[in-house]
């Protein structure tokens, strides 16, 4: 019998009624003739509440203990779901990450999965049980509990689907799937029936919240078909798959945004070899991830360098850059938290000229100033003022007619 992995997010198991609803869905799929492995997140905002408590105790809680704490959330939801399924008359068993043998490295709060032991899962499936597994958690070789980073249950599910050779990994959430833009901002956004791994990776990396980035990487590397769908409707949702297998290939897939970054500009840096290396080495050594980088052409041997970091890293970044400015003899630096990044993603832009020009025109028509631009082969991002972000997203969405016309192209 084929295996299906289903993952239910926190909002899908937010209360006991919803847990009962999930139990019914799981059983319904089993009745279609599948062996079921179900991954569950912590109930509602549990993880946020646990984190809040930790920070009330200490401004920098020890990461090992943080993972010990955060992993408890998922243990609550798996046991309740198992009870709900059993009360429908079906065999079920809940297992934690360590019980399954989801082995990770020891980088607490952002651990990476190294291997998954499938023996216990297969044994339980053979007995006819529905196997319910705690998302987001694993265990090190030294038997310490780890977590995989926020939203990590998606990665647990996709990794399990890869390991078990599941037919599909269904990710159930509170939205119907992946849209051309966030429907709360763009009311006429369209649900995408399918999207390629590469486009989904860019969408997740530029702010789409629907799937954890790492889960998409995992899906791509192991060829796991991922279906994102709502646990509250019957909609088929969005299938994330290999581009070559897609029937329809729209030029543009969607517009995303991110208001979680801040921009730093270093003024009047001497323009000589090794300067950029120095700036970004210092940031890397402080474990700060840099996203966009711009260096202007120099005037009189001096230049400006701008880059973006996540707002959470801003304090640390300022400390590092303060020192770098002194060491390099730059004039000064500025930080701007009031920015947003809007991105346009679509595999068709590789072969379809004029996409960037149209995106910039959409912003220009609304008199929205572009402060930074960066591109990849299937993405264009612009940094603008934060207060213009909703307008910008709608304008770009309209410009490319994403609400209705699918511009299809042979790729």
Q: Shortest gap between Cβ of 151 and ligand ASP (angstroms)?
A: 5
Q: Is 10 in the site for ligand ASP (CB under 6 A)?
A: yes
Which residue lies nearer to Mg ion by CB, 41 or 129?
Answer: 41
SS3 sequence of the chain:
CCEEEEEECHHHHCCHHHHHHHHHHHHHHHHCCCEEEEEECCCCCHHHHHHHHHHHHCCCCCHHHHHHHHHHHHHHHHHHHHHHHHHCCCCEEEECHHHHCEEECCCCCCCCEEEECCHHHHHHHHCCCEEEEECCEEECCCCCEEECCCCCHHHHHHHHHHHHCCCEEEEEECCCCCECCCCCCCCCCCECCEEEHHHHHHHHHCCCCCCCHHHHHHHHHHCCCEEEEECCCCCCCEEEECHHHCCCCECCCEEEEECCEEEEEEEEEECCCCHHHHHHHHHHHCCCCEEEEEECCCECCEEEEEEEEEHHHHHHHHHHHHHHHHHHCCCEEEEECCEEEEEEECHHHHCCCCHHHHHHHHHHHCCCCCCEEEEECCEEEEEEEHHHHHHHHHHHHHHCCCCCCCCECCC
Q: At what angle do helices 153-164 and 213-222 cross, to 10 degrees?
A: 10
Q: Is 92 in the site for ligand ASP (CB under 6 A)?
A: no
Q: Which two tokens stand for residue 50?
A: 């646990």
x/- mask, ligand ASP, residues 123-152, rule CB under 6 A, reads ------------xx-------------xxx
Q: Shortest gap between Cβ of 39 and ligand ASP (angstroms)?
A: 9
Q: Which does 98 bind (CB under 5 to 8 A by kind): ligand ASP, Mg ion, none?
A: none
Q: Shortest gap between Cβ of 401 and ligand ASP (angstroms)?
A: 34
Which residue lies nearer to ligand ASP by CB, 136 or 307?
Answer: 136
Task: Select the residue interacting with ligand ASP from 42, 145, 168, 213 (CB under 6 A).
Answer: 42
Q: Is 110 in the site for ligand ASP (CB under 6 A)?
A: no
Q: Which does 237 bind (CB under 5 to 8 A by kind): Mg ion, ligand ASP, none?
A: none
Which residue lies nearer to ligand ASP by CB, 125 or 134?
Answer: 134
Other CB atoms within 10 A of residue 407 CB: 14
Task: Select the residue interacting with ligand ASP from 140, 146, 153, 394 (CB under 6 A).
Answer: 153
Q: Is 10 in the site for Mg ion (CB under 5 A)?
A: yes
Which residue lies nearer to Mg ion by CB, 165 or 312?
Answer: 312
Q: Shortest gap between Cβ of 75 and ligand ASP (angstroms)?
A: 11
Q: Shortest gap between Cβ of 364 and ligand ASP (angstroms)?
A: 38
Task: Select the residue interacting with ligand ASP from 47, 94, 215, 317 (CB under 6 A).
Answer: 47
Residue 206 contacts residue 341 (beta carbons within 8 Å): yes
Q: Which of residues 35-94 bind Mg ion (CB under 5 A)?
A: 41
Which residue lies nearer to Mg ion by CB, 53 or 408?
Answer: 53
Number of residues engaging ligand ASP in binding (CB under 6 A): 12
Q: Is 352 in the site for ligand ASP (CB under 6 A)?
A: no
x/- mask, ligand ASP, residues 67-86, rule CB under 6 A, reads ------x-------------
Which residue lies nearer to ligand ASP by CB, 206 or 215?
Answer: 215
Binding residues for ligand ASP, rule: CB under 6 A, are 9-10, 41-42, 47, 73, 135-136, 150-153
Binding residues for Mg ion, rule: CB under 5 A, are 10, 41
């Amino acid at each position: 019998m084929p295996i299906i992995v289903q993952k239910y997010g926190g909002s899908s198991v937010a209360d006991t009624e919803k847990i009962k609803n999930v139990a019914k869905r799981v059983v319904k799929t089993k009745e279609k003739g599948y062996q079921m492995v179900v991954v569950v997140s912590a109930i509602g905002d549990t993880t946020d509440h646990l984190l809040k408590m930790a920070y009330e105790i200490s401004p920098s809680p020890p990461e090992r203990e943080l993972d010990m704490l955060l992993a408890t959330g998922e243990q609550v939801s798996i046991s309740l779901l198992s009870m709900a399924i059993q009360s429908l008359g079906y065999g079920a068993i809940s297992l934690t990450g360590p019980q399954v043998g989801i082995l990770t490295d020891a980088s607490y709060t952002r651990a990476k999965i190294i291997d998954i032991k499938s023996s216990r899962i297969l044994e339980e499936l053979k007995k006819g049980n529905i196997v319910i597994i705690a998302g987001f958690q694993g265990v090190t070789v030294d038997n310490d509990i780890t977590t995989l980073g926020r939203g990590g249950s998606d990665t647990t599910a996709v990794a399990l689907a890869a390991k078990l050779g599941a037919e599909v990994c269904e990710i159930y959430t509170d939205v119907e799937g992946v849209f051309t833009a966030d429907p709360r901002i763009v009311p006429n956004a369209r649900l995408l029936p399918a999207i390629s791994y590469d486009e989904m990776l860019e969408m997740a990396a530029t702010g789409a919240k629907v799937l954890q980035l790492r889960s998409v990487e995992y899906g791509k590397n192991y060829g796991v078909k991922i279906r994102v769908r709502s646990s509250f409707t019957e909609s088929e949702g969005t299938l994330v798959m290999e581009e070559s297998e897609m029937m329809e290939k729209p030029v543009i897939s969607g517009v995303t945004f991110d208001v979680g970054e801040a921009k730093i500009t270093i003024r009047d840096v001497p323009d000589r070899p090794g300067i950029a290396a120095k700036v970004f080495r210092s940031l890397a050594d402080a474990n700060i991830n840099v996203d966009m980088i711009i260096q202007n052409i120099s005037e009189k041997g001096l230049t400006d360098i701008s880059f973006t970091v996540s707002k959470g890293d801003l304090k640390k970044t300022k400390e590092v850059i303060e020192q770098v400015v002194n060491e390099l003899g730059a004039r000064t630096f500025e930080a701007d938290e009031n920015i947003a990044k809007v991105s346009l993603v679509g595999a068709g832009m590789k072969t379809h000229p004029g996409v960037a020009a149209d995106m910039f025109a959409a912003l220009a028509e609304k008199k929205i100033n572009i402060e930074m631009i960066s591109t990849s082969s299937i993405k264009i991002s612009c940094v603008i003022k934060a207060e213009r972000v909703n307008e910008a997203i709608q304008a770009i969405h309209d410009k490319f007619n994403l609400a209705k016309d699918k511009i299809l192209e042979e790729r």
